[in-house]
Amino acid sequence: MNAAIRPARAEDAAAAAPLIYSSGPEAFEYVFSHRARTPARGFIEYAFSRGAGEFSWRWFRVVEVDGQVAGTASGYTGADARGFAWHAVRQIVHCNGLLAGARVIARGLRIERIIVPPSRPDEYYIGNVAIAPDLRGRGLGRMLFEHLHEEARARGASECVLDVSAENPRAEALYARLGYQVVRDIPSRLANAAGRVPDHRRMALSL
């Protein structure tokens, strides 16, 4: 197996979108459910291909195995995240129209009470971590995190943080092995016809 980490590119959108979706399907379905014209995966692919916003290719690194995208993760600081809200509004309205877009935005804001964006410039947030199912357990996740930790240090971050579903013990165990510790349990009461958003845990690693 020939594996490498590289910066994502806009043309990776079609391959990366299903992986990003798999990192939190309950949350994505909650947001892009009722009367949304564009389903979650379609929005992710569109937003990934843009040059700005939380899901832009600019913030992602991909794991490439034998020339194919097999994993994703995003990494950015609180300073980077300050402009995300405006770009998200534009992208959501573009994909869903004004009225349906407003509903999507409202649900997205509720999700941010559970999966809280970073706020500090020295806080490096790692999100949308996913490895293709048939390649899990081969060390690719660890390799991806080691790469992101080095990037965080190079940017002057003092801490890496992430959120993990309380219903994903396998991922939580990986993060614990990498040195992350649970710093906050975040209960969720969010649910709609698309399903229930699980409780989450905020985990942190001092650099």
Per-residue pLDDT of the chain (207 residues; tens, 9 = 90+): 899 999 999 999 999 999 999 999 999 999 998 777 789 999 999 999 998 999 999 999 999 999 999 999 999 999 999 999 999 999 999 999 999 999 999 999 999 999 999 999 999 999 999 999 999 999 999 999 999 999 999 999 999 999 999 999 999 999 999 999 999 999 999 999 988 999 999 999 999
H or E stretch covering 179: none
Which phi-psi region, left, alpha or beta, contains residue 89 (left: φ > 0; alpha: ψ -120 to 50)? Answer: alpha
pLDDT of residue 95: 94
Q: Tokens for 147?
A: 């790469």
Distance CA(144)–CA(178), nearest Å, equals: 11
pTM: 0.95
Q: Do the beta carbons of residue 59 and residue 75 sit within 8 Å?
A: yes
In the DSSP assignment, the letter for residue 158 is S
Q: Tokens for 194?
A: 């698309």
pLDDT of residue 85: 93
Q: At what angle do helices 98-111 and 84-96 cross, to 10 degrees?
A: 140
CA angle 89, 160, 71 (to 5 degrees): 70
Contacts with 117 (C-beta within 8 Å, 6 or more apart), sequence order: 54, 78, 81, 84, 125
pLDDT of residue 33: 87
H or E stretch covering 3: strand 3-7
Distance CA(202)–CA(207), nearest Å, equals: 16
